[in-house]
Amino acid sequence: GAGVSQTPSNKVTEKGKYVELRCDPISGHTALYWYRQSLGQGPEFLIYFQGTGAADDSGLPNDRFFAVRPEGSVSTLKIQRTERGDSAVYLCASSFFSSGRNTGELFFGEGSRLTVL
């Protein structure tokens, strides 16, 4: 597709349930980022992939959060035993990385709004 695609756009779940959020980056973009944005806040960094591997996962808040990108394209953010505090918009972004240089600009998806009741 032309842009970064995220599904679902909205997810309502109950406390304690498991949730998966999917991101389909722009074709050819090797770098993929996950952020979390709460109301009135800036995007909070979660994890960054370069290809299939997580280059930096220092932003994942705890071991309930996990992300994969098995083929270096689509990524899934997985949240176990959801808590009410996990409610936020989860943003995915991708960027182009060539010849050891990341062009820097991130292209964002529309986000997945997660509500934990």
CB of 67 to another protein, least distance (A): 13
Please state, in angstroms and rounded to a whole number, the distance separating the CA atoms of residues 29 and 97: 7
Q: Is 109 in the site for another protein (CB under 8 A)?
A: yes
Judged by CB under 8 A, the chain residues 48 through 77 that form the site for another protein are 48, 55-56, 58-59
Q: Which of 88, 106, 114, 116 binds another protein (CB under 8 A)?
A: 106
Q: Taking a C-beta distance cutoff of 8 angstroms, is the pair 2, 105 a contact?
A: no
Q: Taking a C-beta distance cutoff of 8 angstroms, is the pair 5, 23 a contact?
A: yes
Judged by CB under 8 A, the chain residues 24 through 43 that form the site for another protein are 33, 35, 40-43
CA distances in angstroms from 3 to 16, 36, 59, 109, 110, listed in the order given: 32, 19, 24, 7, 10
Binding site for another protein (CB under 8 A): 33, 35, 40-45, 48, 55-56, 58-59, 91, 93, 102, 104-106, 108-111
